[in-house]
Amino acid sequence: MVRTFEELVDEAAAAPVEGWDFSWLEGRAHEQRPSWGYQRVMGERMARAQAALDIQTGGGEVLAGVPKLPPLVVATESWPPNVAKATGLLHPLGAVVVADEDEPPLPFADEAFDLVVSRHPVTVWWEEIARVLRPGGTYLSQQVGPASVFELVEYFLGPQPEEVRRKRHPDDARRAAEAAGLDVVDLRAEFLHTEFLDVGAVVYFLRKVIWMVPGFTVDQYRDRLRQLHDQIQRDGAFVARTARFLIEARKPA
């Protein structure tokens, strides 16, 4: 049965968006994954670590999927609904969740961790990462690259200036890591794609990833959403390019 624009939008507008679990989009959107397999790589590093920190853990879903956690594991998160969700998920696994405003300084002592990880951080405070790493310790992160999903951003906001499109470039991450005294030992980037199969998937995505279209509401963009619904009905999907990069940096021993 073909669902109407109103049904799709109303369902997505009412769906809960806490945590970093995108399973609601199953069958409604497809995201191509990077070839390196971040969770697998993170799991390998975790298995060798003694004390690990996961920054901006979201709802803790990625960390909870690691097969073997170190003896000491701490996760930080700033959004209260995510803090609650991560606490419920990670505490039974022996991980401590710390509510943190994602502003420096990190609430930990110097050289507290031999491994720091972060998947899709909104901000990266390189000096703080270097400070809390032990000599010889590693920072591993998968990050969103430049102009990711900007086909969708610009559909709602119009063309973005080049300085905005270039933000989150992996070369800038390398320079920032090195400026903080870290040695970049791996840096890989891939351009992939995401397909949104109905307008409800777009509404859910923009409600969850709030920095893509700041202040997004269904009421404000209803006309554009209706046009997008018609486009998806005609073309079968709305396709956007995604950018991801993996960076691994080590604190000199």
Interval 12-40: pLDDT, tens: 999 999 877 899 999 999 999 999 999 99
Count of domains forming the chain: 1
pLDDT greater than 80 at residue 186:
yes
Instruction: Say what the pTM is.
Output: 0.91
CATH number at residue 32: 3.40.50.150
CA distance 145 to 191: 9
pLDDT greater than 80 at residue 1:
no
- In DSSP notation, 84-128 reads HHHHHHHGGGT-EEEE--S-SSPSS-TT-EEEEEEES-S---HHH
Strands (E), 94-237: 96-99, 113-119, 133-144, 183-196
Q: How many CB atoms lie within 10 A of CB 210?
A: 13
Residue 168's pLDDT band (cuts 50, 70, 90): very high
Full domain range(s) for residue 45: 5-250
| Distance in Å from the first CA to the final CA of the chain | 62
pLDDT tens string 55-93:
999 999 999 999 999 999 999 999 898 999 999 999 999
